[in-house]
Amino acid sequence: MKTLLVTGLLASFITGSASADLLWYTSFEDVNDLGGKYYDYGDVNTDHWLTNNEGEAAVNGDGFSAWYGSTGGVGLGDGDYVGVTNYGSQGFYDGDQGYQMSDIDGIMELHFDGYEGSATMVSIAIYIAATGYEAADNFSIHWGADPVNGTLYSLDGNGGDGNGSVLEEASGTWMFLEFDVSELGAGHLHVRGESNSGSEAYFIDAVSIYGDAVPAPGALALLGLAGIASRRRRK
Ligand SMILES: [Ca+2]
Ligand SMILES: [Ca+2]
Ligand SMILES: [Ca+2]
């Protein structure tokens, strides 16, 4: 993470008229996160944070954590293709791996840690698998806890069954989405999905969080040293 932060500080760039630093980025490319089908060995009738299991695809990684919400179904207890993956004809937006949610049989959320108060913009690439979706299926992207103001993007399966729901219309292609979160207050990025079939799959890749970099204590110390060095040079 220290390496990422330093890279982010150096990668300051201009977006439109406002400047922003890349605070955090993941493309889910860690090969150690790959594995087999994921099984939730917890109580699928109770909402809970998911844990990684040996030999199974990682649902949690460096800077991201998965949560499960029960809707009375079998959830991820029946073994599902969720978490970090390199599989699928859809390919990936960036690199060889991404993150998938399929056959959730409940609610799955992926939360991206931190940057509350310092983030101004987020971007993410998503791919909705091309299949029929029903009213119970949905996919959305959120900032913070407010379910109305905090919803950045939302697709559902109403009017679906292959007949043109918004999920179906958005399916079959990678989409790169950017959101201004500067007016939304404290919060963090999270992605939410519901589905109940193995063919109903949501893929995520290339997640970026931008803002005004707040130096970590280590980086602050380095900046302090640089300041001392430059002052010394001026003498
Ligand atoms: Ca990737
Ligand atoms: Ca399932
Ligand atoms: Ca469905």
pLDDT digits (tens, 9 = 90+) for 143-200: 987 666 789 999 999 887 666 899 999 999 999 999 999 988 888 999 999 999 999 9
Cα(132) to ligand 2 centroid in Å equals 17
Structural domain including 151 reads: 2-234
Cα(92) to ligand 2 centroid in Å equals 23
Cα(86) to ligand 1 centroid in Å equals 9
Helix, strand, coil percent values for the chain (each to nearest 5): 15, 35, 50
User: Tell me, what CATH number does 200's domain have?
Assistant: 2.60.120.260
Q: Which residues contact 62 (CB under 8 A, 6 or more apart)?
A: 1, 26, 30
pLDDT digits (tens, 9 = 90+) for 41-58: 999 999 999 999 999 999
What single-letter amino acid sits at 3?
Answer: T
pTM of structure: 0.82
Distance separating alpha carbons of residues 143 and 122, to the nearest angstrom:
9
| Ligand showing the shortest atom-to-Cα distance for residue 133 | 3
Cα(200) to ligand 2 centroid in Å equals 11
Cα(83) to ligand 3 centroid in Å equals 19
Cα(165) to ligand 3 centroid in Å equals 12
Give the chain's domain count: 1
Cα(72) to ligand 3 centroid in Å equals 15
Is a pLDDT exceeding 80 seen at residue 8? no
Average pLDDT, the chain: 86
